[in-house]
Structure 1
Amino acid sequence: MSTASVTAAGAGAPTTIPLDTFPAAVAELSARHGDREAVVAPEGRLTFTELAGRVDDLAGAFAAAGLEPGQRVGILLPNGIRWLVTMLGAQRAGLVAVPINTWYRSSELAHLIGTADLRVVVTDAEVFGKDMLAELAAAGHGETFAAARGGDYLGAVLWPAAEPFPRGLEPASPPPPVATADDVALILYTSGSTALPKPVPLEHGKLLRNGRAMGECMHLRPGDRLWFAMPLFFGYGACNALPVALAHATTLCIQEKVEGDAALEFIERERCTVSYGLATAVRALLAAPSFGSRDISSLRTGPVGFNAEDKRLAVEGLGISEACSAYGLTESYGFVTMTDAHDPLDVRLHTQGRVLPTQQIRIVDASGTECPPGTSGEIEISGCVIDGYLGGDALDVGTRSADGWFRTGDLGLIDVDGRLVFGGRWKEMLKIKGINVAPVEVEGILSEHAEVDQAYVIGLTTPDGDQEMACVVVPDGAAEAGPDLPDRLTSYVRSRAASYKVPSRFVVLDAAAVPQTDTGKVSKLRLREMLEGA
């Protein structure tokens, strides 16, 4: 059975408490830290005791409505207290929480509700300007909740932001705890760009174990306050930031979305110490008009981006002096490797750190043979990793090695000090003049140019079936780019890399014109479509 532990802050040195499930974590946090703030969000503030009470009430309501352990509850809400209480309340009742992408439209909702076998969806009449009942109706699931309806799907439970409890449900005493460490706590849908999202089942025990390990690398301590404004429905929130916070008695300071000035004001007011923002969030803060006039010196640690320049911006631009570099994916319950917050800056800038005690990692060549240190190959992982996707064996085809390791499809190497150096996504590898080129390598070179703020290398198909390497660059705001910037960048790369690694085409864009995915990452697929369409 999996176990985890949470730091308990008393007057003396911290101790640890064995924990196996999210309901157990909430109960222990209430017992040990009852008066401490658990969450700050758009709907208000809750202490750990208040959070536990709200979670128990909703768990009782779910049970009274006839939902049985193991059944699934969809969460279609913005970041906030409602989202958090719905997830934890479902788990307290022995149910499985299924976070839903709030950008989904009707066809995507139909796919998710059908494949996840949801009993109810907790939502609001309007979410980010969309009529959710209309979207659900177009998806073939327009019913509002009615316990007496019967059938597999009981409808949408509406929970307006101004109301303390979902409509149609009544607070009730919770049932006895039934969840175990090996039970599924969450089902997350991966944000695939070339195929339908895959359902990823995540167990209670592994989520908390890895959350504990990740927080230890960041040296989280009692009183830390974690800023989070990325979508909670993706892995970076639900299976990373949330278990990290629960495993370390950390206050969650949640915003619905990343908005530069509002985020800076929020971080300053709440004295946030842990930043959980992707590279796009870091750039949004730095570009905000009020940056420099807000005191965000409380920020100390948190995970940062893949390339050295993104990390440097977090450390030097935002002052996150103990920022940690990491590598992971939803299927690995968050991170697999991390640098330590106290590692030298050069280590944090240029590696993704050592493997966590909850994980295993190896690099293999095309034949499946493990590579020696310093040799690039495919990253394979084991440990806190899913056993398989939900929905049939077809989804797992090609995801496992002969001896059962999970094949990530990513490239990297383990250096002589045992640290991972990320080499890019296998599917993004380019074939230029018959030679493999990793876009991340060229992007890393360009990101060090004084006139470049962002660089994205993509492959465009040529009429003869070959690939042309193109690069989209966002100039540094302080630089006068001028029409000859592409020529200067060509010379710059040519002086630092082999000729086949020099992009044949540079496209200069404003930062606002760079398309993003729903998770806040740059969409290379849409960039490719833009360039090929032009």
Structure 2
Amino acid sequence: MQHVAETPRVRALWNPTGPCIADDREELDNATFARRVRIAATILHEQGVGRGDVVAVVLPNRLELVVILFAAWHIGAAVTPVKPDSTFEEMQYQISDCAAKVVITEGDRGFASLDVADVAGPAATTIAPMPTVVTEDDATALIIYTSGTTGQPKGVVLDHSNITAMCAMLIETLGLDETDHSLLILPLFHVNGIVVSVLSPLLAGGRATIAGRFSASTFFDVVERVRPTYFSAVPAIYAMLVTQSPERTPDTSSLRRVICGAAPMSAELIARFEARFDVPLVEGYGLSEGTCASTVNPPDGPRKPGTVGVPLPGQTIAVVDANGFLADPGEPGEVVIKGPNVMRGYLGRPKATAQTIVDGWLHTGDVGYFDPDGYLVLVDRIKDMIIRGGENIYPKEIENVLHAHPDVLEAAVVGAPHEVLGEVPVAHVVAMPGTTVTASHLLEHCGVSLARVKIPVAVHLTAELPRNPVGKIDKRKLRTMPAPA
């Protein structure tokens, strides 16, 4: 497989007038995209950016971000995408932590930066001779910052071999080819949006369209207009889509599949989406530290909702006990991953890296087990486990029971402090629109399937659940929130 960094040049030679990438404002064919990349590379080179430097990009989802990504790679630099609605202090932390040589953004952010229009916009025209840079496999490609749920965000360092391996795995597993057209709706400051929805389809010879801000009420208007073959989203987006007015039946015939990642999705929500829109939903699992994906439910089946599928080709996944030994078959333990997709480490944090990657195995902090068919079932996060009077309780088990109720759209369970028992489970539930379910009814529902110690001490009905920038339910914030009245 060709090097990912060579994609613009190869596509321009292969099919110069073929469609490549688009957003809400413009569409670029392969030759135009390659030219824009070369122009941006020239301008970055003139600004002193070179091999080993880092380019920070503070932009919403737009095609210029992809132009800058390939331009930086063209001259041997790496890119760190910055969440565009971060606070000034958050941006400054990331930019300083990775020692970014330049920052590219739009408007005045309060710090020295290059304007995106001057670097990667359609009016930029400068192309000058530059030294040829051979992109080494071990050169840093991306520095993706974690959401910082356990302290300051850490920079996940992904090199070109990580990116190339991950794209190859996804192309093989999803069967991507030149007929595929992805619709990007996830943020481009996250590795899922970059790898699944942009790099993989482009490398496979397909195309990508970058959608603007997501709106559940207008999303299928975009699908009908763009005619993508797939999109990747998080459970929260699918939950919003299934609650749209049943009066409209959108045309989803262009979609071969849709993908869910970033957080576990209940089997009930998967069934609701597939029944409503007649599109297969493929759930996967992975981490930024593993360059995005490590398992996926096979698109051609059999798919097993309630699991996150089987390991991607080229990756080895195991489940280990607290002592680091392989857990017995069917017994829960920590999920560990080995393969060419495992990150180089956390930027400037050798201790954290050594704690996370042990003998080449990426320790995920997730608890899971393999079912008899070799499909991975996630039990929960180790850090989310509730210890009630010495009993270990995994919130996901309670959440699964709540999700099985037809009036429940979303559920999240967290531990609340208790003077005697240490912690007790508390559930926060978003009901399906138009239903009148009560907390007492849901507690009775839990009592049918759960041991008494696992039944929540309270169920709080709420309009929405707090989420982090990637769309995962923010359980840390949920623990600190006062219960709804």
Q: Do Structure 1 and Structure 2 share a fold, with TM-score over 0.5?
A: yes
Q: How does 1:125-136 map to 2 (within 5 A)?
A: 125=107, 132-134=108-110
Q: Which position in structure 1 is the counterpart of 2:238? A: 282
- Report the equivalent of 2:481: 530
**Structure-2 residue corresponding to 1:195:** 151
TM-score, with length taken from structure 2: 0.93
Q: Equivalents in 2 of 1:291, 1:406: separation in Å?
A: 47
- The aligned runs of 1:397-412 (5 Å cut-off) are 397-401=354-358, 403-412=359-368
- Give the 3-state SS of the residue equivalent to 1:408 in structure 2: strand
Q: Which of 383, 386, 403 is the matching residue for 1:447? A: 403
Check if 1:504 corresponds to 2:463. Answer: no
Instruction: Please report how far the alpha carbon of residue 340 of structure 1 lies from its aligned counterpart in structure 2 after TM superposition.
Output: 0.9
Aligned twin of 1:269 = 225
Percent identical pairs in the alignment equals 26
How far is 1:173 from its partner? 4.3
Deviation, structure 1 residue 56: 1.1
| TM-superposed deviation, 1:282 | 1.6
Alignment match, 1:6: none
1:116-195 correspondence to structure 2 within 5 Å: 116-125=98-107, 132-134=108-110, 142-143=111-112, 156-160=113-117, 164-165=121-122, 170-195=126-151
Contact 1:264 1:291 in 2 (8 A): no
CA 1:218–1:184 in 2, change beyond 3 Å: closer, same or farther? Answer: same
Residue number in structure 2 paired with 1:19 = 2
Q: Is the 8 A contact 2:7 2:202 kept in 1?
A: yes
Shift of 1:288: 4.2
Q: Which residue of 2 aligns with 1:368?
A: 324
Report the Cα distance in structure 2 between the residues aligned to 1:303 and 1:411, rounded to whole angstroms. 22
Distance 1:356 1:456, change over 3 A: same
Is 1:517 the counterpart of 2:468? The answer is: yes
Shift of 1:24: 1.4
Counterpart CA distance in 2 for 1:88 and 1:289 is 41
Residue pair 2:335, 2:368 contacting (<8 A) in 1 also: yes
Give the aligned partner of residue 315 of structure 1.
274
Could you tell me which runs of 5 or more consecutive residues in structure 1 were left unpaired when the two chains were aligned: 1-17, 126-131, 135-141, 144-155
Distance 2:196 2:235 in 1: 16
Kindly state the Cα deviation for residue 325 of structure 1 after the two structures are TM-superposed.
1.7
Does 1:227 pair with 2:183? yes
- 1:262 partner amino acid: T
SS across alignment from 2:331: coil
User: Counterpart amino acid of 2:353?
Assistant: D
SS of equivalent residue, structure 1 residue 334: coil
User: What SS does structure 2 have at the residue aligned with 1:350?
Assistant: coil
| Counterpart in the other structure of 1:146 | none
- What is the correspondence of 1:337-486 to structure 2 with a 5 Å cutoff? 337-345=295-303, 347=304, 349-383=305-339, 384-401=341-358, 403-464=359-420, 466-481=422-437, 485-486=438-439
Q: Distance in 2 between matches of 1:221 and 1:68?
A: 33
Aligned counterparts of 1:410 and 1:223: Cα–Cα separation in 2: 36
RMSD (Å), alpha carbons: 2.2
Match of 1:151 in 2: none
Distance 2:102 2:141 in 1: 16
Structure 1 residue 495 corresponds to structure 2 residue 477? no
Deviation sequence 1:73-99 (CA, Å, 0-9, x none): 111011111111111111111111111
Gap change, CA 1:246 and 1:203, over 3 Å in 2: farther
Between the aligned partners of 1:409 and 1:359, the Cα distance in structure 2 is: 17
- Aligned twin of 2:291: 333
Quote the offset at 1:293 in angstroms: 4.6
1:126-149 CA deviation, whole Å, 9 max, x = no partner? xxxxxx423xxxxxxx23xxxxxx
Shift of 1:222: 2.2
TM-score (norm 1): 0.85
CA distance in 2, matches of 1:502, 1:312: 25
State the Cα deviation string for residues 417-438 of structure 1 (Å, max 9, x = none): 2221111111111112311111
Answer whether contact 2:185 2:231 (CA < 8 A) is retained. Answer: no
In structure 1, C-alpha distance between the alignment counterparts of 2:360 and 2:233, rounded to whole Å: 33
- What SS does structure 2 have at the residue aligned with 1:178? coil
Greater Cα offset, 59-68 or 359-368: 59-68
Partners of 1:338 and 1:280 in 2: how far apart? 19
CA distance in 1, matches of 2:285, 2:242: 24
* Counterpart amino acid of residue 62 in structure 2: G
- Note the residue ranges of structure 2 that are not aligned, 5 or more in a row: none
**Residue identity matched to 2:481:** M
User: C-alpha separation between the residues in 2 aligned to 1:300 and 1:249?
Assistant: 17
